[in-house]
Amino acid sequence: MRVLFLGDLVGRSGRSAVIDSLPGLRQRYRADFVIVNGENAAGGFGITEPILNELLDAGADVVTTGNHVWDQREALVFIERHDRLLRPINYPQGTPGKGVGLYKATNGADVLVINAQGRVFMSDTDDPFRAIEHELEACGLKTGADAIVIDFHAEATSEKEALAHFVDGRASAVIGTHTHVPTADEQILNGGTAYISDVGMCGDFDSVLGMDKEEPLSRFLTQIPSARFAPAQGAATICGVGIDIDDATGLARAIAPLRIGGRLSQTEPAFFLPEA
């Protein structure tokens, strides 16, 4: 089974690149299932319903989010209408939406997707470890789901690594999001779970984390906010990972980075290419 995961979309540059490219990428890679983190898709802050629909129409099976999920206040309402939009599962009880879903891949497999948010250097939420443990007990790998992918939206790499080891052998992949910078630690853990600390963003890297450089520089130099942050509008790099999952075990056989377009070094998962 082939899973494609694309990192945080930032503004028009990132979302346009993904919406335009995803149908071709899905066909080229013969992806069975696609997850996109869309929490910065609307002007860098949150997601709107029209943008969500565009991503789903382009080929995303699930759109995950993170700490910016409510930046567009309308999301508090429309998230209830969309089974394929997730918010962090460890938000307080009664929060609109849901943080987990079981979805059908094109190859017929049942894929459990869990969206969780870290607590280190971030706003206070419920315990992500216990929230994820509860879902794994309710729908385990090869007992309730053919594959399990966790989007862990967190700041600290230590928390991300700890969570990955916590679920190693019980999830197909733990994919880190939020920091917008792709890391080079993609690996298969001892128990067979694929892991990367951060897949990076889909956006303009001639920026400060996807934002136009002027305002962040001004704030660092003066400590005075002078304007709103605005997404950079240059050519986007699409960042993500490809994951090859064993149909028999639900564990990962391979994980590799994806970077296409824009200014970063280019790479594609070799096992996804037509000749592979």
pTM of this prediction?
Answer: 0.96
pLDDT band at 275 (very low <50, low <70, confident <90, very high): confident
| pLDDT, position 214 | 95
Question: Beta 33-37 vs 62-64: how paired, if at all?
Answer: parallel
Q: Is 2-272 a CATH 3.40.50.720 domain?
A: no
| pLDDT, position 204 | 98
Is 68 considered catalytic here?
yes
- Tell me the pLDDT tens digit for each residue of 193-212: 999 999 999 999 999 999 99
- In the chain, the percentage of residues whose pLDDT exceeds 70 is 100
Is pLDDT at 243 greater than 80 in this prediction? Answer: yes
- Tell me the pLDDT tens digit for each residue of 34-56: 999 999 999 999 999 999 999 99
Q: For residues 160-178, give the mean pLDDT.
A: 98
| pLDDT, position 274 | 82
**Measured distance CA(266)–CA(219) in Å, rounded:** 32
Contact 234, 261 (CB under 8 A): no
- In the chain, the percentage of residues whose pLDDT exceeds 90 is 97
Q: For residues 2-31, give the mean pLDDT.
A: 97
Is pLDDT at 78 greater than 70 in this prediction? Answer: yes
Catalytic residue among 68, 153, 178, 180: 68
Instruction: Give how far Cα 256 sits from Cα of 19, 112, 114, 194, Å.
Output: 22, 21, 21, 10
Residue 123: left if φ>0, alpha if ψ -120 to 50, beta else—which one? beta
Is pLDDT at 276 greater than 70 in this prediction? Answer: no
> Of the candidates 109, 34, 99, which has an alpha carbon nearest to the alpha carbon of residue 272?
34
Is pLDDT at 143 greater than 70 in this prediction? Answer: yes
- Tell me the pLDDT tens digit for each residue of 98-111: 999 999 999 999 99
If you average pLDDT over every residue of the chain, what do you get?
Answer: 97
